[in-house]
Amino acid sequence: MVPSYTDFSASRHGRFDRDAATELLSIVEPVIPSPDRIVNEEIVALSVALQSKNVIGPALSLLRNSRTQEEQVVYVQALTAEGLDWTPHLRKQFFQTVVDLVPNWKGGFTARARRDHFLNRSLQMLNEVERLEFAEKILQAQKTAQAVPPIHRTFVRNWSMDELLPTLAKKLTEARNIENGKNLFAAASCIACHSFRGEGGLGGPDLTSASGRYTAADLLENIMSPSKVINEQYGLQIYQLKDGTTFTGRTVNMAGDTVMVSTNLNDPGGTEVRFKIQDLERSVPSRISSMPEGLLNTLSHDDILDLIAYIQGL
């Protein structure tokens, strides 16, 4: 039996002595991983607060398999706490995971500060030899987040609509692997920009009700040819200043005669450009979507069908 959520206050107040902590850990540690995301997050936080000797491996696995930035923040915060018993092997695995995930955290200045804090905290956990080993990764992690996080999957095929459309309707009537589709929604970086059922980014349209607005063929075409039809609310602008400077982004704020434009919607605070409105020569809508092409190129035919079925709620 898992303790009630009131017991999880131990992760903040440390109200259990060593014997009580040991007894409580013997109850909660076997539960990881739970099918419930919130339960996993709370148990990891509790186990760290109670100085568990066994939490690092399961927490690291949950971090690697996390779907959202919110989950990653919880696990990285827990794993960078003081007092954990790291082995060199696990510490290096953790750092490699951090530099793959944390630089792509999106948000404003608060998110950027949190990202920088955890990158620095993870770096401090390494010894000098390990820092030299990861020098290139460290340098890369300190750069601006990409608009869409890199997809670490093997290339399958440069798919075309002509290859997929003829069998789309028929294949979607068959039983699909919805769990695979859910996982691919994150693996193909859809979740980085699109919210779906309360999870995901805000850089693109919320896809929760996509099945009521788009057919399966529409969804497939929007993914494969994102610049064909661009939602005005999420489109980019090309700004040309009177001095000849040109950049592409989206206006995120205005203060008096100052315009603030984000050139990377995944990192608005870190990529903000400011200029005076009187210095603007013109701005026109970009014909290129911020959503890249080729997002399905690491998926098999069945994977693509599972992804579409998941988004459509089949």
Question: How many separate domains does the chain show?
Answer: 3
Answer yes or no: are the C-beta atoms of 48 and 55 closer than 8 Å: yes
Is the pLDDT at 1 greater than 60? The verdict is: no
Nearest CA-CA partner of 202 in 254, 252, 151, 136 = 252
Nearest CA-CA partner of 283 in 293, 273, 291 = 273
121 and 24 housed in the same domain: yes
| Domain containing residue 245: CATH number | 2.30.30
**107's torsion region: left (phi>0), alpha (psi -120 to 50) or beta?**
left
19 and 124 housed in the same domain: yes
28 and 132 housed in the same domain: yes
102 and 196 housed in the same domain: no
Nearest CA-CA partner of 310 in 244, 219, 247 = 219
For residues 191 and 266, what is the distance between their CA atoms, to the nearest angstrom? 12
The last residue of a domain, from among 141, 169, 198: 141
Answer yes or no: are the C-beta atoms of 17 and 42 closer than 8 Å: no
Is the pLDDT at 12 greater than 60? The verdict is: no
* In-domain check, residue 188: yes
279 and 304 housed in the same domain: no
307 and 165 housed in the same domain: yes
Q: Which residue has the higher pLDDT, 106 or 262?
A: 262
* In-domain check, residue 55: yes
* In-domain check, residue 146: no
Query: Among the residues of 200-253, which ranges form H helices?
Result: 210-213, 216-224
185 and 265 housed in the same domain: no
* In-domain check, residue 149: no
pLDDT at residue 290, as a whole number: 83
Q: What is the mean pLDDT of residues 143-164?
A: 78
176 and 307 housed in the same domain: yes
Residues 6+ apart with CB under 8 A from 183: 67
| Domain containing residue 204: CATH number | 1.10.760.10
Beta 199-200 vs 195-196: how paired, if at all? Answer: antiparallel
Q: 40 to each of 78, 175, 208, how far by Cα in Å?
A: 12, 30, 24
* In-domain check, residue 147: no
Q: Which amino acid is at 164?
A: L
Query: Among the residues of 14-146, which ranges form H helices?
Result: 18-28, 37-49, 56-64, 69-79, 88-101, 109-124, 128-133, 135-141
Cα 147 off chain centre by: 11
Beta 258-262 vs 246-255: how paired, if at all? Answer: antiparallel
26 and 78 housed in the same domain: yes
* In-domain check, residue 305: yes
* Domain with 14 in it: 5-141
How much of the chain, in percent, has pLDDT values that exceed 90?
A: 36
Q: For the residues of 259-312, what is the DSSP string, one character each? A: EEEES-TTSTTTTEEEEEGGGEEEEEE-SS-SSPS-TTTTS-HHHHHHHHHHHT
Q: Enumerate the β-bridge partners of residue 248.
A: 238
84 and 129 housed in the same domain: yes
- Number of helices and strands in the chain (H, E): 15, 7
pLDDT band at 170 (very low <50, low <70, confident <90, very high): confident
pLDDT band at 6 (very low <50, low <70, confident <90, very high): very low
The last residue of a domain, from among 81, 109, 141: 141
Exposed / middle / buried, residue 42 (Cβ in 10 Å: 0-12, 13-18, 19+) = buried
pLDDT band at 141 (very low <50, low <70, confident <90, very high): confident
For residues 238 and 293, what is the distance between their CA atoms, to the nearest angstrom? 20
pLDDT at residue 102, as a whole number: 86
* In-domain check, residue 120: yes
Residues 6+ apart with CB under 8 A from 23: none
* In-domain check, residue 22: yes
Cα 20 off chain centre by: 37
Q: What is the mean pLDDT of residues 15-25?
A: 80
71 and 104 housed in the same domain: yes
For residues 46 and 81, what is the distance between their CA atoms, to the nearest angstrom? 12
106 and 247 housed in the same domain: no
